Amino acid sequence: MLGRLRVRLVYALAYRVKEVRERGFFAGGFWPPLPQLQEVPALRQARSQANLYELALRHLPGPRPDPRAVLDIGCGAGGGLIYAHAVFPAARLAGVDTNAIALKTAWQRLSKVPNLELRLAPGDRTRLPPHSFDVILGIGCVNAIGPSELLTECARLLAPGGVVSLTAAFALAPAEVEVLFSAAAWQAGLVLRQVSEITEGTRAALAHERPWAEGVIARLPAPFRARAREMAALPGTRAAKAMAEGRVRSYAILVDHPVATWDAPLLRAA
């Protein structure tokens, strides 16, 4: 519990740094660019993070009808929602986060996007309407919330036939991650569809983003820099060593909502 609280505190402090607010992300990414990565002017300085959203939104889920509504849990300053709007311009968008500074920046950056809702709320208690989203994204947030808690809320929010697309890092082997998320999905009434290890891509992104991350962390209050370096898995940290030795791995996880047999309410038109 203490570890999660420290992560949330560093996360909150990071969004006080101008460069983080302008980029829309603090950490995370995937490299090299995927073939379908869309170039978005507002994310020109955050291509590895946009690439991670491309992975979660389109690459791993595969061909699907365009979603009518997309939710980003842990949306931060809205960089992922900017990318979602670029690739699915007709979709209704929503984001939740516990960081008020990040959400204020998201409102400013997404002010011209129609059909947008941003909410200051934890990812396991969003208070959003049930059966409202075709795609729910969680980039790294499951480590702060927990698989069972997050998927229970996603099950309430997901429209029939929708997908939950998550990324996370665990000190677990792929088979163990499958067991963990199979159980959490089953308890929530969902179905685990895929667990993909993406460690090499996330490590490449960390190396690509290292100069920028070092600069941002240098601007944080001194007592929090070591923890921020661990979160960014910078060289010399225990996190970087654990990834290099294969003790911590990055994963992309897809969870499906089994198509409902009841008459779920129709989504509002975008």
Q: Where along the chain do its domains lie?
A: 2-256
- Tell me, what's the pLDDT at 123? 95
- Tell me, what's the pLDDT at 267? 34
Sheet containing 133-139: which strands, arranged edge to edge? 116-120, 92-97, 69-73, 133-139, 158-170, 249-256, 191-197
Pairwise CA distance, residues 183 & 107, whole Å: 36
3-state secondary structure of 134: strand
What CATH number was assigned to the domain covering residues 2-256?
3.40.50.150
- Tell me, what's the pLDDT at 4? 61
Distance set, CA 24 to CA 185, 195, 256 (Å): 30, 27, 28
3-state secondary structure of 172: coil
Segment 138-153, tens digit of pLDDT: 999 998 899 999 999 9
Distance set, CA 166 to CA 39, 71, 138, 252, 254 (Å): 22, 12, 5, 6, 6
Structure tokens at 70: 């997309």
What's the mean pLDDT when you consider all of the chain? 88
Pairwise CA distance, residues 17 & 22, whole Å: 9
Pairwise CA distance, residues 58 & 84, whole Å: 10
Nearest in space to 182 (alpha carbons), one of 220, 159, 212, 148: 148
- Tell me, what's the pLDDT at 232? 80
Ranges of residues in the chain whose predicted pLDDT is under 50: 1-2, 260-270
- Residue bearing tokens 């697309």: 165
Pairwise CA distance, residues 177 & 7, whole Å: 22
Pairwise CA distance, residues 229 & 224, whole Å: 9
